[in-house]
C-alpha cells in the first residue's frame, strides 16, 4: 500500500471516530496506531483482503480499549460496540464531509482552518503541516490543539449544515481548499496536489453542488499548465510563450466536462470558465479574448476586487485594444501600486500602445515588487 492509501485511510478513520467519541485527539491517536501496526505487520504477514476495513477495525478496537481504561461514558462504548458487532463502520463519506465542514467552520481563524484541514482531512503529519507554515512542530501542535479546543468550547456541531446554513457555510470550505491550492501553485507542488485530492473528495461527496465541481475544475485547469510554467533554468514562462503540448490535456478535458455538467452559479464557476478559455485555445493568438472580457465583467460584478480588475483590464486590452485596458486600470492604479502583476499588466499594455520607454520602467518597478526570484527574473527580461 502506498502513502496516499494510508493518508486517505487516516482521514476516514479520524472522521468516524470523532463522530462516535467526540474526542479529536483519541481519534487521531487510534488512527495512527492502526496505520503503524499495519506498517509493522503487513510486510511480514501479508495484506488482509480488506485493508481499509482492517485499519478501521483496528483503530476502533484501540479506541474501545482506551475508553475502557479511562472509564469513559457508557454511550460512547455502546456506539463503538455497535460497530464491532456489525463489522462495518457507519457511512465514511458522511463522516469525512462532517469533518471537512467542522475543520472549515468560520468561527476558526483561516490559518487554523487550513492547518486543521491538512492534519485531519488530508492526513499530513504535524511535522509536515508545520513545515508548510514555516513554524516549529511544537508550535504547530499547540496551534492545532487550540483549534480543537475552540471547536469544543464554541460547541461547533459535527455535522453538515442544510438549507440556508449550507449555502452560508460552503464558501468557507471552498475558500480553504482554494487557499491550499494557490499556496501550492505558488511554490509547494505537494500542497497543490493535496488540494486537488481534497477537492475531488468534496466533489464526490457533494456532486449536486455546482460550485464544488467548479472549484475542482478550476484547480485542474490551473494545474494542467504546471509542466510548462518554468523553463529549464527555473524561470517563469509567460502564457504566451508556453509550450501547450506540455499541458495536461487529460486534466483539461476532465475540467471542461465538469463545467458542462453544471450551471454557472458563483465565482468559482466563472473563474473556471476563464481558465477554460485559455486552456482550450490552440495557441495564444487564438484565445477568445472577447469571451474572456465578458467573463471578467461578470466576475467583477459578483466578486469585485482590485486583482480581478487588473485581470479584467488585461482581457479588455487584448479584446478591444491596449487603450481600453489602460482605461480600466486607471481608477485602481493607487490600490495596486505595489502589486507586481498589476504593474506588469500596465507595462504590457503600455508597450503594446507604443511607449516602450515607459513600459520598461514599469517592468522594472514590477520586478522590484515581485515576491519570488523567478518572477523577478522574468520581469527584468522584459525591460530591454
Please report the DSSP string for 136-156 in residue order.
Answer: -HHHHHHHHHHHHHHHHHTT-
Q: Which distant-in-sequence residues (6+ apart) come within 8 Å of 153 by Cβ?
A: none
* 47 in a structural domain: yes
Average pLDDT over residues 105-122: 88
* 34 in a structural domain: yes
Q: What is the dihedral of CA 184, 189, 193, 196, to 10 degrees?
A: 30
Q: Which of 35, 55, 90 is the C-terminal boundary of a domain?
A: 90
pLDDT in tens, 137-188: 999 999 999 999 999 888 888 888 888 888 888 888 998 899 889 878 877 7
pLDDT score recorded for residue 22: 84
Distance, CA of 341 to CA of 339 (rounded, Å): 6
Q: Per mean pLDDT, which of 165-169, 236-240, 274-278, 367-371 is the most reliable?
A: 274-278
Average pLDDT over residues 109-117: 89
pLDDT score recorded for residue 174: 92
Rounded percentage of the chain residues whose pLDDT exceeds 70: 93
pLDDT score recorded for residue 324: 97
Question: Which pLDDT band, with edges at 50, 70 and 90, does 11 fall under?
Answer: confident
Residue 80 confidence (pLDDT) above 80: no
Question: Which pLDDT band, with edges at 50, 70 and 90, does 75 fall under?
Answer: low
pLDDT score recorded for residue 89: 46
Q: Which of 55, 90, 125 is the C-terminal boundary of a domain?
A: 90
Residue 319 confidence (pLDDT) above 80: yes
Average pLDDT over residues 222-245: 91
* 213 in a structural domain: no
Distance, CA of 205 to CA of 350 (rounded, Å): 47
8 Å CB contact between 328 and 316: yes
Rounded percentage of the chain residues whose pLDDT exceeds 90: 54
Q: Report the mean per-residue pLDDT for the chain.
A: 88
Question: Which pLDDT band, with edges at 50, 70 and 90, does 78 fall under?
Answer: low
Distance, CA of 60 to CA of 48 (rounded, Å): 17
* 82 in a structural domain: yes
8 Å CB contact between 19 and 98: yes
Distance, CA of 103 to CA of 28 (rounded, Å): 14
Query: CATH no. for residue 365?
Result: 1.25.40.10
pLDDT score recorded for residue 84: 55
pLDDT score recorded for residue 88: 47
* 115 in a structural domain: no
Q: Which domain holds residue 325?
A: 288-384
Distance, CA of 72 to CA of 140 (rounded, Å): 28
Question: Which pLDDT band, with edges at 50, 70 and 90, does 90 fall under?
Answer: very low
Q: Which of 90, 106, 140 is the C-terminal boundary of a domain?
A: 90
pLDDT in tens, 278-296: 999 999 999 999 999 999 9
pLDDT score recorded for residue 74: 59
* 303 in a structural domain: yes
Q: What is the domain count for the chain? A: 2
* 262 in a structural domain: no
* 114 in a structural domain: no
Amino acid at each position: 500500500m502506498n502513502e496516499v492509501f494510508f493518508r486517505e485511510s487516516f482521514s476516514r478513520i479520524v472522521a468516524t471516530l470523532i463522530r462516535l467519541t467526540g474526542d479529536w485527539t483519541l481519534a487521531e491517536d487510534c488512527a495512527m496506531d492502526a496505520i503503524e501496526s499495519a506498517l509493522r505487520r503487513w510486510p511480514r504477514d501479508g495484506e488482509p483482503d480488506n485493508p481499509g476495513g482492517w485499519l478501521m477495525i483496528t483503530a476502533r478496537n484501540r479506541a474501545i480499549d482506551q475508553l475502557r481504561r479511562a472509564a469513559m461514558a457508557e454511550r460512547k462504548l455502546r456506539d463503538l460496540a455497535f460497530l464491532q458487532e456489525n463489522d462495518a463502520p457507519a457511512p465514511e463519506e458522511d463522516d469525512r464531509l462532517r469533518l471537512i465542514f467542522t475543520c472549515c467552520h468560520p468561527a476558526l481563524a483561516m490559518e487554523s482552518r487550513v492547518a486543521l484541514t491538512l492534519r485531519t482531512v488530508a492526513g499530513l503529519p504535524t511535522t509536515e503541516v508545520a513545515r508548510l507554515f514555516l513554524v516549529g512542530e511544537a508550535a504547530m501542535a499547540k496551534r492545532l490543539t487550540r483549534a480543537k479546543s475552540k471547536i469544543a468550547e464554541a460547541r461547533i456541531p459535527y455535522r453538515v449544515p442544510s438549507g440556508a446554513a449550507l449555502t452560508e457555510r460552503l464558501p468557507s470550505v471552498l475558500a480553504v481548499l482554494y487557499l491550499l491550492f494557490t499556496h501550492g501553485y505558488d511554490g509547494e507542488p505537494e500542497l497543490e496536489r493535496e488540494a486537488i485530492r481534497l477537492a475531488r473528495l468534496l466533489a464526490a461527496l457533494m456532486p449536486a453542488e455546482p460550485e464544488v465541481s467548479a472549484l475542482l475544475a478550476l484547480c485542474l485547469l490551473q494545474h494542467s499548465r504546471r509542466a510548462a510554467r518554468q523553463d529549464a533554468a527555473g524561470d517563469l514562462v509567460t502564457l504566451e510563450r508556453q509550450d501547450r503540448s506540455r499541458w495536461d490535456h487529460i486534466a483539461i478535458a476532465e475540467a471542461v466536462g465538469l463545467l458542462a455538467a453544471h450551471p454557472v452559479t458563483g465565482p468559482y464557476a466563472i473563474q473556471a470558465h476563464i481558465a477554460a478559455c485559455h486552456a482550450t485555445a490552440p495557441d495564444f493568438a487564438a484565445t477568445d479574448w472577447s469571451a474572456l472580457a465578458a467573463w471578467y465583467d461578470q466576475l467583477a460584478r459578483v466578486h469585485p476586487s482590485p486583482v480581478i480588475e487588473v485581470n479584467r483590464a488585461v482581457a479588455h486590452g487584448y479584446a478591444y485594444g491596449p487603450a481600453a485596458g489602460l482605461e480600466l486600470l486607471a481608477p485602481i492604479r493607487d490600490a495596486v501600486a505595489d502589486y507586481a502583476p498589476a504593474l506588469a499588466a500596465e507595462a504590457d499594455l503600455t508597450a503594446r500602445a507604443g511607449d516602450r520607454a515607459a513600459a520598461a520602467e514599469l517592468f522594472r518597478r514590477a520586478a522590484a515588487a515581485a515576491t519570488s526570484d523567478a518572477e523577478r527574473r522574468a520581469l527584468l527580461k522584459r525591460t530591454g
